[in-house]
Structure 1
Amino acid sequence: MKNFQLTSSIVLFTISILIYGCVNEPCLDIKELDRQSAITKEWYVNDSIGNQIIVDKNEISQTLTISSRHQHKWDDIVEDDCGNVYGSFYFTIQYNTSLSPLHFMVDIHGSGLSEDGFYLKLTVTDTKSVGHKSTTYDFVKGNCRENNANIEIINGTLIDNKFDSEVLMIDFKNTNTPNDIKTVYYAKGYGIIKFVEENGNEFEVQ
């Protein structure tokens, strides 16, 4: 009798796992994913944009050099119970400066996986001290994921009336030295157009 009761309990437990473990997940919202993908890809740097001259307030100029630029996509990263599939994509661009010991890397990513989502990540590296910091802007939520920077989209015309597109103003909350990067401006389609050091000195694309 005890063996029968034990067997029955095991069977009921197994059935419960099967029932509650096979709950259907919501179908992918393909229309919304396509919309977010289109918005995110607008922030890619156009192929026509190359190396640029940047100048500070003292008329000291240097070159903002694109050292690397590439992109890739996958078509079937996630599949739902409704038969829908969705992929992911990324765009990466890296910059070096000819005078300042700086390296910038911008990663733009989009994915049907909810834990990835749609974002732009900026990493700034001081090549002299090998110190680096990074922050991520979430295009869906419209905020900073790490809460280590104030990030907002501003009108490009605010940058000396030079740009007709939106600009991400990324302002780090913490800096370590007077020459540490405080703020970076990244324009839709153009890439990095301006950066400001903690001491107030700023370099801007001409």
Structure 2
Amino acid sequence: MLTTSTFRSIEGAYLALLRLVTSEHEHQIAARGNHAREVIGVGFRLPDPRQRLPYLVTRKANPIFQFAEALWYLAGRRDLEMIGYYAPSMRSSSPDGVNLGGSAYGYTLFNPAQGDTVSPFDRVLELLRTERDSKRGYLPVFSTVGPSATTPTWHAWQGCTSSFAADVCTWCATCGPMTSTAVCCPTCSASR
């Protein structure tokens, strides 16, 4: 049986993951010019969620920034006004010096897409309220939505199944579930 490793604190998980990526990495990548080693599909359990901050001398962690960033995401923001105070270097990732684009996950999760009235998070919550065991929830994390109206929005599609293998549907990240026979989203006309 496949099992996920369990650690008492984030330090144990962090050190184990460093050993794994150092000795058994699957890929070498260079995202935005930063060379790194990568292992895909790794997970772990942390039974005590209060033990999620790394307290390692060699790891320069800023818990104040980490909490500020979490609050910024949960507030659904993409502007730099608040988060720029805690991480001034984030301003260099902004095309206009005011907002961040795709890495502002909270904005994508907690705000309705253009032309919609319900956020992806609220849409999935409603789905889970009505279908407790559903596997059809989809939360987009990245978006190419930029600070200007001229930047295009992408639509993510995800095939999904419920507890019954025959019950297959298609999901538009902007509009929600569609029938499996739809060629394009009837609301926003985005094709698969």
Q: Specify if TM > 0.5.
A: no
**Structure with the higher helix share, 1 or 2:** 2
Structure with greater Cα Rg: 1
The structure where strand makes up a greater share of residues is 1
Higher RCO (CA < 8 A, seq sep 6+): 1
Give the structure-2-normalised TM-score. Answer: 0.30
